[in-house]
Chain A
Amino acid sequence: MTGAIVTKPSASSQKPSREHGRIYRILQHVVPVAVVLVVWQLLTAQFRSPFFPPPLTIFEAAYKAWFTGPATSLFLTDTVFEDVLPSIGRLLAAWGIAAIVGVALGLAIGLNRIVRDYLEPVVELVRAIPAAATLPIFIILLGAGAAMRVSFIAFGGVIWIVLINTILGARQVEQTQLDTGKAFRIPPLQRLVGIILPAAMPKIFAGLRISLAGALILMVVSELILSTNGIGFQLIQAQRSFALVQMWTQILLLAILGFVFNWILSQAENHVLAWHRGARDRS
């Protein structure tokens, strides 16, 4: 009997305390990753293929490449300042421009029937162009500098994702809500900020998240061609000199960037759209 009493709390602790739940969730993520790392290490150490160096070797090279700089620059190496940060800077600049232009244009197209009828076919056509195929055109028009890369990332691909999602979002605003706003004579700007943007936000956020992943891909593509610095440049340089460990460090870095970007945006999404999650669950 006493046994039953003792086990009862643990049996009902299917739903553990908050603190427990957090530790459990972290473990649930950490353990499998650790297993993958160990298996990866064992396999690569076993087969010794020059193409697939062991992860420990890659991590060591990555540490050497990025974190062995002088103390004055926070132990970061030159390549962090000359390749990694410029790459990230170009990516974020392009993404920011595309986000602003894309959301503004998308709202204009999505809310205005006349503009929509004229521009939607054009949008449909242009976005069907595989982004990479426009890169030579950006090179022709803008040369091989940072301006070309930023414009390619922004207008070659990213903006279409933002634009299309914003149009969809703006179209989903309920007419009743818009009419109510008009009936109460709420000024247009307030209608935009108070009614339209919140209603379109979930779709816009989805577009922003996907487009950041797209921006990372386009950043790499743009740097694989005619570049003089950047993560993609280091990647292709490593390949040309058969420096496979270095190449893998760049792949690792890009994977980490992809993961971090996605994580930050989904956190932001959860935060900003907390009300929406709840609203959607009910429906």
Chain B
Amino acid sequence: MVLVEIITRAGLVNEAFLPPFSHSIVVAGQLLFDPRFQVDILATLGAWGLGLLWALLVAIPAGILLGSWPPAYRATKALIDFVRPIPSVALIPLAILLLGTSIQMKSVLVLYAAIWPILFNAIYAVHDVDPLAKQTARSFGFGRLGISAFVVLPSSLPLIAAGIRVSAFIGLMMVISTELVVGGDAGIGSYMTRVQASGQDTIYVYAATIIAGVIGFIINIGLATLERRLFRWQPQERSE
């Protein structure tokens, strides 16, 4: 960052293309209080949150089912192997045709992109639950459901949470990609395309990028802190 500052201040590059970093930060700060941009941030976060929520609701139960019941895993493995290699962004055009440029379209894409890390982590986590713990619970008279709720779920939560953190980040990237491609009426990516289309000062693009980075950083740190708080009791968390 200091490097960028020095390069730009020294006049090595045209200021219109690469503004000094400190200047971008100031503009980013101003942008945060611009009501129009606040709408953009909310639109991005809204689509992101909605998509991520759906991903959680689908991927966690599905992952637990597939991880604990091998026939279900074998039956769906081919389908998963088939769909998974499709890069999420390749579906942007299809989603536009199906759903227009609405917030639903963005959240469906987030759902698709965010589902995989959670799903796979859930499958692995449930699959790797200590069998001794399960047997102990069984010998204490817990039923299938009881074991799931009191043994399998708690011990697989840390890995699922790690998947959620990855998914959250991928989802954010997905929303912004989509907004850059479709423009649309509101969103951080839409804001960037608006600035470029209207020939406004490029510093606003930098400022928006910085804000996107800060949002990504906050989400990442927030989720990591939450994980540490929630799973302090987990041996694998403690050793890490």
Q: Which residues of B contact A136 (CB under 8 A)?
A: 180, 192-193, 195-196, 205, 208-209
Residue pairs across A and B with Cβ atoms less than 8 A apart, 16 shown, are: A33-B81, A36-B79, A122-B1, A125-B213, A126-B213, A128-B217, A130-B169, A130-B212, A133-B192, A135-B180, A136-B180, A136-B205, A224-B177, A247-B93, A247-B97, A255-B86
Contact assessment for A220 and B81 in the assembled complex, using a CB-CB cutoff below 8 Å: no
Among B186-240, those with CB < 8 Å from A are 188-189, 192-193, 195-196, 202, 205-206, 208-209, 212-214, 216-217, 220
Q: Which residues of B contact A250 (CB under 8 A)?
A: 90
Q: Which 8 A-B pairs have the closest CB atoms?
A: A32-B78, A239-B93, A129-B213, A128-B217, A133-B212, A258-B85, A132-B177, A130-B173
Tell me, in angstroms, the Cα distance from A235 to B87 when the chains sit together: 13
Given contacts A130-B172, A254-B90, contact A239 B205 (CB under 8 A): no
Tell me, in angstroms, the Cα distance from A112 to B89 when the chains sit together: 38
Contact assessment for A132 and B176 in the assembled complex, using a CB-CB cutoff below 8 Å: yes
Contact assessment for B97 and A128 in the assembled complex, using a CB-CB cutoff below 8 Å: no
Min CB distance B220 to A, Å, is 5
Closest to A30 in B: B78
Tell me, in angstroms, the Cα distance from A135 to B193 when the chains sit together: 11
Chain B contact residues, CB within 8 Å of chain A: 1, 17-18, 77-79, 81-82, 85-94, 96-98, 169, 172-174, 176-177, 180-181, 188-189, 192-193, 195-196, 202, 205-206, 208-209, 212-214, 216-217, 220
Chain A contact residues, CB within 8 Å of chain B: 32-33, 35-36, 51, 122, 124-126, 128-137, 139-141, 213, 216-217, 220-221, 224-225, 235-236, 238-239, 242, 244, 247, 250-251, 254-256, 258-259, 262
Given contacts A51-B94, A236-B93, contact A262 B209 (CB under 8 A): no
Contact assessment for B97 and A239 in the assembled complex, using a CB-CB cutoff below 8 Å: yes
Tell me, in angstroms, the Cα distance from A261 to B54 when the chains sit together: 29
Q: Which residues of A contact B216 (CB under 8 A)?
A: 128-130
- Since A136-B180, A221-B181, A255-B87 are in contact, a sample of 7 more A-B pairs with Cβ atoms closer than 8 Å, ordered by chain A residue number, is A122-B1, A130-B216, A133-B208, A133-B212, A217-B88, A221-B177, A225-B180
Interface residue from B90, B180, B220 paired with A128 (Cβ < 8 Å): B220
Q: Which residues of A contact B192 (CB under 8 A)?
A: 133, 136
Q: Which residues of B contact A134 (CB under 8 A)?
A: 209
Contact assessment for B93 and A132 in the assembled complex, using a CB-CB cutoff below 8 Å: no
A interface: dominant SS: helix
Contact assessment for B79 and A262 in the assembled complex, using a CB-CB cutoff below 8 Å: no
Given contacts A36-B82, A238-B93, contact A133 B209 (CB under 8 A): yes
Given contacts A225-B180, A258-B85, A259-B85, contact A139 B90 (CB under 8 A): no
Contact assessment for B189 and A236 in the assembled complex, using a CB-CB cutoff below 8 Å: no
Q: Which residues of B contact A33 (CB under 8 A)?
A: 78, 81-82
Contact assessment for A128 and B213 in the assembled complex, using a CB-CB cutoff below 8 Å: yes
Closest to A124 in B: B217
Q: Which residues of A contact B91 (CB under 8 A)?
A: 251
Interface residue from B77, B180, B202 paired with A140 (Cβ < 8 Å): B202
- A124, A132, A141, most chain B CB atoms within 10 A: A132
Tell me, in angstroms, the Cα distance from A36 to B75 when the chains sit together: 10
Tell me, in angstroms, the Cα distance from A236 to B180 when the chains sit together: 13
Min CB distance A91 to B, Å, is 11
Interface residue from B1, B78, B86, B89 paired with A221 (Cβ < 8 Å): B89
Q: Which residues of B contact A236 (CB under 8 A)?
A: 93, 181
Tell me, in angstroms, the Cα distance from A220 to B88 when the chains sit together: 10
Contact assessment for B212 and A255 in the assembled complex, using a CB-CB cutoff below 8 Å: no
Tell me, in angstroms, the Cα distance from A140 to B197 when the chains sit together: 12
Min CB distance B128 to A, Å, is 15
Tell me, in angstroms, the Cα distance from A139 to B212 when the chains sit together: 17
Tell me, in angstroms, the Cα distance from A218 to B202 when the chains sit together: 22
Given contacts A35-B78, A140-B205, contact A129 B212 (CB under 8 A): yes
Tell me, in angstroms, the Cα distance from A124 to B218 when the chains sit together: 11
Contact assessment for B17 and A141 in the assembled complex, using a CB-CB cutoff below 8 Å: yes
Contact assessment for B196 and A139 in the assembled complex, using a CB-CB cutoff below 8 Å: yes
